[in-house]
Amino acid sequence: MKALNTIIVGLLACGAVFAAVRDTTTTYAKAASAKKVVAKIPGMKLSVGSLVSVEPNARTMIIKQVRTEDTITATDSTRIKIQGKKASLADLVPGSKVIAFYMLTNGEKVALKVSDRIQKGAPGAVQPAPLVK
């Protein structure tokens, strides 16, 4: 029950921030902006990478970042969006690029929001600048 209260307080404190970070989860270029926003919110963390696995029954997902893998737990209040539309944990597909906003609660990474990102080459995606030799 104490963990649930902590999550609820965290969600209330971060509610206004979701409006500001809503659009930061759509492109590779905006991931840097999301990191700046997260840095301003005490306790909020960010995991950006490829979705390795999803276990809807256990309510967990594993996100592989460059150097680490994060095991993140979803709750009833976790907001999940795919291509800007409301989705469920079961709708997430391993191999997808995702951004997860989470908070540490009793040593557990608890997701507040999970969103897919536009893939390279997709319409509207920000393309990286070519390397200069």
Using pLDDT thresholds of 50, 70 and 90, give the confidence band for residue 32: low
Q: Where are the domains of the chain?
A: 2-116
C-alpha to C-alpha distance for 89 and 74, rounded to whole angstroms: 8
- Which residues, at least 6 apart from 60, have a Cβ–Cβ distance to it below 8 Å? 54, 71, 72, 73, 74
C-alpha to C-alpha distance for 81 and 86, rounded to whole angstroms: 5
Q: How many CB atoms lie within 10 A of CB 122?
A: 10
Q: How many helices (H) and strands (E) would you count in the chain?
A: 2, 7
- Which residues, at least 6 apart from 51, have a Cβ–Cβ distance to it below 8 Å? 61, 62, 63, 64, 92, 93, 94, 95, 96, 97, 98
Confidence check: pLDDT of 125 > 70: no
pLDDT at 21: 43
Using pLDDT thresholds of 50, 70 and 90, give the confidence band for residue 30: low
The third-level CATH classification (topology) of the domain covering 2-116 is: OB fold (Dihydrolipoamide Acetyltransferase, E2P) (2.40.50)
pLDDT at 24: 36
Using pLDDT thresholds of 50, 70 and 90, give the confidence band for residue 127: very low
Confidence check: pLDDT of 126 > 50: no
Mean pLDDT, the chain, rounded, equals 75
Q: How many CB atoms lie within 10 A of CB 101?
A: 26
pLDDT at 122: 44
Confidence check: pLDDT of 103 > 80: yes
